[in-house]
Amino acid sequence: MRVIYFSQDYTPHDYRFLEKLAQTPHEVFYLRFEANPAPFETRPVPLGIKVIDWMGNRTHKLRGWGKLKLFLDFRRVLHELRPDLIHAGPVQTCGFFTTLAGFKPLLLMSWGSDIMAKADINIIWRWITKFTIRHADMIACDCLAVRDRIIKLTVYSGDRIITFPWGVDLSQFHPTPSGLNLRDKLGWKDNKIVITTRSLEPIYGVEVFLEAAARVIEKEPSARFLMLGDGSLRPKVQTFIAEHNLKQAIHLTGRVPHNMLPDYFNEADLYVSSSYSDGTSVSLLEAMACKLPVVVTDLPSNREWVTTGVNGWLVPTGDARALSSAIVEALEYGDRRKSMGETNLSAARQKADWNRNFAILLKAYEQLSGRSTR
């Protein structure tokens, strides 16, 4: 089968999908909607995946006439490749382009925030979202919250929605001694370490996280914070750290190679996410697989994985005070953190195995492969 995997950019999530697709007998082409000047993923596209040369590989944030030219070039790509299936997402960009081109079968893949947040930006975005969903032959999403929202938006048939967590590679993400010696290098040997791995972007509540961290350090001066990742808010983060004299307590790593993430998780005592919107967060699953207790925002998708007092804490979005209180409580109870971590490890092994979950996507390919490609 000739498959086009059509995605917004090139991120660690894209790499994970393409890596698995490269192991299948399908002929897979990778189409990138735009090329961000600051790459999200530095690993090369997996061997066996054919990267399509088109405007999207050379442009970023096109508007007006630029998007029209991009769409015309997309039509050219479809005419030349004549794929049997397009796997496209997010909804309002890659999915919308595929729908406008009239291509079928379309496996539309939600990336979480495209349904949970961007669908409500304005009346135009809502129309695009509904139009694209209605024309999808099948939809893939990573949690029940996104599935329910899709059905509510368009009365789309639940029988044509496949739901599976994107999951983690359990051979990489598991409890193991870290090889970083980070505690010694940073002088944090006797400290409790909180880790967040979300990008430094507004949707992830970065400023809320920083304010909460400052509050925690006032109550628990021995607490330390690892902030992995990068993004547009990095200058603000650096300014906040300098102005609040937190350089010794908050360490910014920048983007970290994916194969090093397990080492960072295994240096930490607690995982935190202050995101305003999420599907099933792979970062959360990675932390759980490394046996960490978690403090995350009270989102429908997070409720599918976290129960306060059982394996972590749920806190209101945008509430730095509540977030700091939960972090302090978590850091104060060592035995409780340990039992929560065990619960999370068990849940990750049962429900977040990427090798097992990916098979659900391949089954969807098979179901769609007999449909018309015109």
CA–CA distance, 371 with 279 (Å, rounded to integer): 29
Residue 128 predicted with pLDDT over 90:
yes
Cβ atoms 130, 153 nearer than 8 A? yes
Instruction: Select 182-351's CATH number: 3.60.20.10, 3.40.50.2000, 3.30.565.10, 3.40.50.970.
Output: 3.40.50.2000
Residue 302 predicted with pLDDT over 90:
yes
What are the domain boundaries of the chain? Answer: 2-167+354-368, 182-351
Residue 323 predicted with pLDDT over 80:
yes
Nearest CA among 168, 120, 134 for reference residue 19: 168
Tens of pLDDT, residue by residue over 356-366, are 999 999 999 99
CB within 8 A of 184, min separation 6: which ones? none
- pLDDT for 37 equals 81
Nearest CA among 365, 370, 367, 372 for reference residue 3: 365
For residue 251, give Cα distances in angstroms to 31, 195, 198, 255, 269. Answer: 36, 10, 14, 12, 15
Average pLDDT, whole number, for the chain?
A: 94
CA–CA distance, 329 with 324 (Å, rounded to integer): 9
Residue 108 predicted with pLDDT over 90:
yes
CA–CA distance, 47 with 27 (Å, rounded to integer): 12
Least confident of 56-70, 300-314, 331-345: 56-70
- pLDDT for 369 equals 83
Does this chain's domain 2-167+354-368 share its CATH topology with 182-351? yes
Interval 272-295 mean pLDDT: 96
- pLDDT for 374 equals 31
Residue 237 predicted with pLDDT over 50:
yes
For residue 280, give Cα distances in angstroms to 94, 117, 215, 218, 317. Answer: 20, 14, 28, 32, 16
According to CATH, the topology of domain 2-167+354-368 is: Rossmann fold (3.40.50)
CA–CA distance, 310 with 283 (Å, rounded to integer): 19
